[in-house]
Copies of this chain bind each other. A is one copy, B any other.
């Protein structure tokens, strides 16, 4: 099942309609790779469905956030960026200098999540792990 389909069914299974506007938003979101601000996403969506309103995009992102499928992260550059959490977790390397974001897959947080979850009586659904530092291009010459 594609990412788009997974998001779509998640919406429907939670009692939300899969309208054309929402379909277009999901497409644009997944195509973009999932590192866009809300207003950037509006532009992308309008390439496919020009009449789409700004509010609809904001509302859909809210919906996806409520369902834990998307997560807004604030990079310090004005608008929040939304990242896809369709697998429940996400991992970043963020360069403090140039603000570029690299993704990686490995993760050993599941086990820690279980432990900490138990201690706090917390039912864990997903996580975000971000490392900050200097990317290869931004390190001082040696």
Contacts and interface: CB of A to CB of B under 8 A. Distances in A.
A58 to B, nearest CB: 11
Contacts of A73: 73-74
Given A73-B74, A122-B102, A116 B139 contact: no
B135 A109 contact: no
Contact of A127 (B76, B123, B131): B131
Interface of A: 62, 65-66, 68, 71-74, 76, 80, 93, 95-96, 102, 104, 106-109, 112-113, 115-117, 119-136, 139
Contacts of A135: 120-122
Contacts of A122: 93, 95, 102, 131, 133-136
B76 A65 contact: yes
Contacts of A116: 93, 104, 106, 131
B106 A108 contact: no
A76 B62 CA distance: 9
B139 A132 contact: no
A130 to B, nearest CB: 5
